[in-house]
Each structure stands twice: as C-alpha cells, then as structure tokens.
Amino acid sequence: MTISLAMIKFKQGGGIERYALDLIAGFHQAGIKPVVYAISFDEKLKQYPWIKPQKVALSWCPKFLRKQCFARTIKNAPETTLSITQIVGTDLLICGGQHKGYINALNKIPTLLDRLKIRNEQKAYQSAKTIVAHSQLMKNELMAFYDVPSEKIQVIYPPIDDQKFSPVTNEVRSKLRQNFHFAEHDIIYLFPSTGHKRKGFDLLRAYFDTQLKGSQCKLVVAGTPVEESENVVSLGFCDNMPDLYRAADFTIMASQYEPFGLVGIESILCGTPIIFSQNMACTEVLKGQFGYLFDRENTDSLHQAMQLSLSNPQRIDDPLSVLQYNPSLNHHIEKILSLVTSQ
C-alpha cells in the first residue's frame, strides 16, 4: 500500500503535528513507510527514519499563500494522499478543526486573512474524496458552515497513547505529588494550556481567586506561564504531562471552542476525572463517572460542578469503561487504512 501524508512542517508541535507523528508511528507498526510532503523536516525526530521525505521548496512563498502553492506542488502525487491540514486536492482530508467554526464560537468578525483561510478550506473540502472529522461537532460544522454532504464525512475520534497515559498506584501517585511540590491536603485542579483565552483561563481564575479564596483548592497551570496568586499556581511548560495528570485530583477546562480536546481523554486514561465545559467535543465520547460538566456561560453551573467535585473526589479505576470509543492507535490506524483502501 502506497500512502503519502501532506503536512506543512514535519516537526514536534501542538495537536495537529502530534497527530501526524502518531499516524506515522501507526503506519510504521503496520509495516507502511509513507511518503511525507513537507516544507521542512526535523531529522532528529524518531519518526524520521519511518518516512520517505519529499521536501516542497516554498521558502519564496508568502505564508498566507503557502497552502495554495503547496497544493499545486503535490497535486499529481501518485500515492493515495492524506492531509492533516486543508490542502486542496488530497484524497483523504483529516479535519481536526476549521476556521469558520472557530470564528463563530468566538464571535469574531472575519478579517481579510480569515476570509482567505476560509476560501482555501472550502476548496479543500470540495476537492477531497473523503473527509475524516475528529468529532461529531466537527462533522456538524463542516455540513453547516461549508455545505459538505454528510455522506462525504466519516467521524473517527483521535487516538491516544494508552501505554503512555495510564493510571498508577496510590503509592506512586503520592510520590509524584511530592515531586511537583503539591501539599498533601491541597486539591489540585490541573489546567493544561498554551492558549489560555480560548481555554477559559480568565473565567476559572476569577472563580478560584474569589469563590475559593482561602481554600485548599489550587488551579495549577501547565503551559504558558501566568501570574500566581493564593489559589493559582504556575508550573510553566512541562514535558512530563502523564505524571502531572496522575498527580492532579482533577483536570479542568472551560474552552470557548474545542473541536475535540485530547487533554480530557489523556487525563481520564491516567485515572484523573475532568471538570469540563459541556461544549467541548470530547464530551461526546464520555459516559458514567468521568467527572463533571458545566455551562461556561453560567457561573452557578461551574459552582455546582466544583462543589460536586469537592464532595466526591474519586479516581477513575477503569478508564476505558467511561469512554465510548477505543482510543488505541492501532484501532485508529485500522479505520484510516480502511478508508484509504476504499478510495
């Protein structure tokens, strides 16, 4: 099977870059060495030997035109082409997010650059043979905002490394809390984020600084540093997120817009319940005692969820029992390859 993956940069990064590297790892486990089209390659990544790199020379191209030029370069690729970003002309387009949904959720007025992005996305969705949406929310938005036919979209939820994100014993967890300097009686609400405004940090900070002032509840921010207060702790960027999830009592987030929200599933797989705003798409796949949901537009709803968490701070002993899908990479790759063979 000959597959190519179109991505702007082959590198370690945020959600979409990490997903691309997960795909490559999954293909490697399946005995497939994909061609990867990219403008630049980080040759130090462990996944680099698992690909056939094809560099696309676009250093001359303005950034806002890069996807269009990229598409022209690879439009005659002989392989079945997958794209993790909105590249026109690929066979299988995997959609983890799109611009119209983001603008709508944040009530933004589109700029000229926004309109150019949306125009390119529209062309990419029209030209793709099949679109993979990472959530039902994403499928609904593709149909509503871009007029993509329902039958063209397949919902396949993103994978999580269930070996990396897994529970530990109480003894190990106690040592982890000591390593992070969490006081024994503090109740840790972990907020992992690099885009604090969209993730609802201001809302949560206001609540912890007022309603929980003087309590043992701590909002612990992992990611972009923030100013600390009595109930807000800033850890900065952390490279040991599984242990941080395990050490926390809850993971909390109040996103304005979240096409999926991998942090929720990562936390649950580590045994840590979540307190999430109900508009986050990862809540589609949750059931049973996974934690608590709230309406981010209603402070009373947040307060109720917090009070429930304080009265019932239980761990998740069987993480897979609260998920309605199989998050393993192998399962995800099987679904993707099934779509590839049908192109």
According to DSSP, the β-strands at 35-38 and 130-133 are unpaired
The CB density around residue 200, as the number of other CB atoms within 10 Å, is: 22
Classified by CATH at the fold level, domain 3-159+328-341 comes out as Rossmann fold (3.40.50)
Q: How confident is the model at residue 2 (pLDDT cuts 50, 70, 90)?
A: confident
Q: What is the helix (H) or strand (E) element at residue 340, kind and residue range?
A: helix 329-341
How confident is the model over 300-319, as pLDDT tens digits?
A: 999 999 999 999 888 999 99
User: So what's the pLDDT on residue 218?
Assistant: 97
Least confident stretch, 16-25, 27-36, 132-141: 16-25
Residue 76 has pLDDT above 80, yes or no: no
Kindly report the three-state secondary structure assignment for every residue of 94-110: EECCCHHHHHHHCCCCC
- CA angle in degrees (0–180, nearest 5) for 328-329-333: 125
pLDDT at residue 341 greater than cutoff 90 = no
Mean residue pLDDT of the chain comes to: 92
Give yes or no for residue 24 having a pLDDT over 70. Answer: yes
For residue 65, is pLDDT > 80? no
Query: In this prediction, what percent of the chain has a pLDDT beyond 70?
Result: 99
Q: Please give the Cα distance from 242 to 224 (Å, whole number).
A: 18
Between 60 and 319, whose confidence is greater?
A: 319
Distance of CA 2 to the CA centre of its chain: 27
Residue 58 has pLDDT above 80, yes or no: no
Rounded CA-CA distance 231/183 in Å is 13
Mean pLDDT of 274-296: 96
Domain ranges of the chain: 3-159+328-341, 170-322
C-alpha separations of 306 from 211, 226, 244, 254, 290 in Å: 10, 22, 20, 13, 14
Asked whether the predicted pLDDT for residue 181 surpasses 80, the reply is yes
Q: CA-CA-CA-CA torsion for 164, 168, 172, 176, nearest 10 degrees? A: 50
Name residue 277's amino acid.
S
Q: Which residue has the higher pLDDT, 153 or 75?
A: 153
pLDDT at res. 12: 80
Question: Between 132 and 76, whose confidence is greater?
Answer: 132
User: CA torsion angle for 157, 161, 165, 169 (degrees, to 10)?
Assistant: 120
The 8 Å CB, 24+ separation contacts for 124-128 are 124/67, 124/71, 124/83, 124/86, 124/87, 124/88, 124/89, 124/90, 124/93, 125/86, 125/93, 125/95, 127/88, 127/89, 127/90, 128/83, 128/90, 128/91, 128/92, 128/93, 128/152
Please name the residue that has the structure tokens 């609260």: 322
What is the model's pTM? 0.90
pLDDT score recorded for residue 194: 84
Structure tokens at 340: 């590839």
Output the DSSP codes for 212-258: TTTSSEEEEEEES----BTTEEEEES-S-HHHHHHH-SEEEE--S--
Asked if residues 263 and 255 have their Cβ atoms less than 8 Å apart, the reply is no
Radius of gyration of the chain from its Cα atoms, rounded to whole angstroms: 21
198 or 16: whose pLDDT is higher?
A: 198
Q: How confident is the model at residue 1 (pLDDT cuts 50, 70, 90)?
A: low
The reported pLDDT for the residue numbered 335 is 95
Q: What integer is the mean pLDDT of 268-278?
A: 97
User: What CATH code is assigned to 170-322?
Assistant: 3.40.50.2000
Going by the DSSP 8-state scheme, the letter that residue 131 receives in this structure is E
Q: Using the predicted structure, report yes or no on whether residue 244 has a pLDDT greater than 80.
A: yes
CA 188/CA 234 separation, integer angstroms = 12
Report the pLDDT value the prediction gives residue 39, as an integer from 0 to 100: 87
Quote the CA–CA distance of 321 and 325 in Å, as a whole number.
10
